[in-house]
Structure 1
Amino acid sequence: MSGEKKRYKATIAGKSYTIVGSRPTEHLQLVAETVDEQINQIKSLTDNLELDKMAVLTAVNAVSDQLEMQIEMEKMRQKITELETKLAKFEEG
């Protein structure tokens, strides 16, 4: 039942949040831990940056990583298509 919403209580940057989602609890926990780690990394690199600004920087980093992964995935799809074409030509000949 992947459509069923789950609630997960998390502590991120010392504050409590309830995350609601249809993913498994383990996934929600990993997301919360990753966000907390990234905010703590940003906090360690900056002086007196407010939590909302750290959250925005964390979001910017996450979107940047996501876009890089999408680019890599598209490159892999293109490579797979090329290899499938070569394989089909090899099997024909």
Structure 2
Amino acid sequence: MQQINIDARVDENGFIYLKMPPSLAGVEIKGTLLYQLPAQDSQNIKGKKIDINAVRNICKDIRNLPTLDHRTPDEIIGYNDFGIPE
């Protein structure tokens, strides 16, 4: 699948604006909105600051979780002789 870099923003009314490369002029874009913040929530988020120490502590806690299964991902999925997961 080809990747295309675009600039996008969503305004306060929930409208999405895309800035497309000139090479894509006239191309139809189809997609699915996966998630949309309610308007009042997006306004509240703008003024909030992220506590970077809290984020670092969460990351540290995740890194320190015990390994419950020491098998490799390939061993867990279980590929057959043809390389197909079983």
TM-score by length of 1: 0.29
Q: Choose between structure 1 and 2: higher strand proportion.
A: 1
- Give the TM-score, by structure 2 length: 0.30
Which is bigger in relative contact order (C-alpha 8 A, separation at least 6)? 1
